[in-house]
Structure 1
Amino acid sequence: MPISVTTSEAGEVNIVHVSGEIDVTSAAVLRDALEALIADGRRRLTLDLGGVTFMDSTGLGIVVGRLKKLTRHGGTLTVVVSHERVLRVFTITGLDRLIDIHPDLEGAVRAAGAVSA
C-alpha cells in the first residue's frame, strides 16, 4: 500500500496524517513532511499514524530523530497509534516510554497543545 502524507492544523498544533506502510522505500516522504514543518518553525506536532498498517525500523528512526530535534528547540511531538501491529513496534522497542503515544487524534492534539512551547 503506498504511503499518503497530508497535513492540517488544530489551533497551534500541526497534524501530520499518515496512511499506508512506512518502510525503507516510503519513509522519506514522512521525513520530508516533518522536516518541512520543523524548518518552518512549527514546534507543536501531532503525528497521526492511525492509518498506518505497518512500520519498520526506518520509520521509527524518523520519529525518534524528529522528536529529538523538536525537543532541542523546545517543541513537542505526540503520536496517534491505533493499529495494534504498529503499537507493538513501539512497545517492543521501548519507545512507548519515550514517545507520547495516544489511541486517538483528539487526545494527542490536546496533549500537544497543552505543552508550553
Structure 2
Amino acid sequence: MEPVTAGKDGAVLRVGGEIDVYTAPKLREAILELVDAGASHIIADLREVEFLDSTGLGALIGAQNRLRTRDGSFRLVIASDRILRIFRITGLDKVFEIHASVADAVAGEAYWERIVADEGG
C-alpha cells in the first residue's frame, strides 16, 4: 500500500496484490494513518488488486463509515472485472462510489478538482 497525499485533507491510496485476512489489517492501518494525518477525502486505487475477500471488503466498509462520520468521502478505483464482480454480487457497487480511473474519480467533484489544480495536475 502506497499513500499518495494529494492535498491537505485528501489522499489517494494505491493498493495492490491480495487483500485478505492477512493483509486487510495493513489496509485498515494505512487508511487510519491517512485519516489521523487529516485526510477526510480518500480515493483507494485498487487497480493493482488481484484478490479481495470478505475481510478486505470489511476494511473498505469500515473506512467508508469512518470517513462519512467526518463528512468526508471514500471512492474506489477498480479496473478488474473480477474485483468489480465481487462488488456487484455483494451489492456493494451501490454502496461505494466506484470509478475506472483516478481521473474519473476526481472529475466533476469540486473538492478534488481544486486539489488537482493546487498540486499542478
Do the two structures share a fold, i.e. TM-score over 0.5? yes
CA deviation map 1:49-68 (0-9, x unaligned) = 00001100001001011101
Q: Which position in structure 1 is the counterpart of 2:74?
A: 77
TM-score, normalised via structure 2 length: 0.85
Of 11-20 and 95-104, more deviation after overlay is shown by: 11-20
Of 100-109 and 71-80, more deviation after overlay is shown by: 100-109
Q: Structure 1: which 4+ aligned runs deviate by more than 4 Å?
A: none
Q: Specify which of 66, 88, 93 is matched with residue 90 of structure 2.
A: 93
Please report how far the alpha carbon of residue 10 of structure 1 lies from its aligned counterpart in structure 2 after TM superposition: 2.8
d(CA) in 2 for partners of 1:13 and 1:73? Answer: 13
SS of equivalent residue, structure 1 residue 82? coil
d(CA) in 1 for partners of 2:43 and 2:105? Answer: 6
Q: Which position in structure 2 is the counterpart of 1:48?
A: 45
**Identity in percent:** 37
TM-score, normalised via structure 1 length: 0.87
Alignment of 1:4-23 (within 5 A): 5-11=1-7, 13-23=10-20
**Root-mean-square deviation (Å):** 1.4
Report the residue type matching 1:34 in the other structure: I
Q: How many residues align?
A: 110
d(CA) in 2 for partners of 1:43 and 1:16? Answer: 13
Report the residue type matching 1:65 in the other structure: G
SS of equivalent residue, structure 2 residue 31? helix
Are 1:102 and 2:107 counterparts? no
> What residue ranges of structure 2 are gaps of 5+ in the alignment?
114-121
Report the residue type matching 2:3 in the other structure: T
Q: Is the 8 A contact 1:6 1:17 kept in 2?
A: yes
CA deviation map 1:81-100 (0-9, x unaligned) = 11111101111110100100
Report the residue type matching 1:8 in the other structure: V
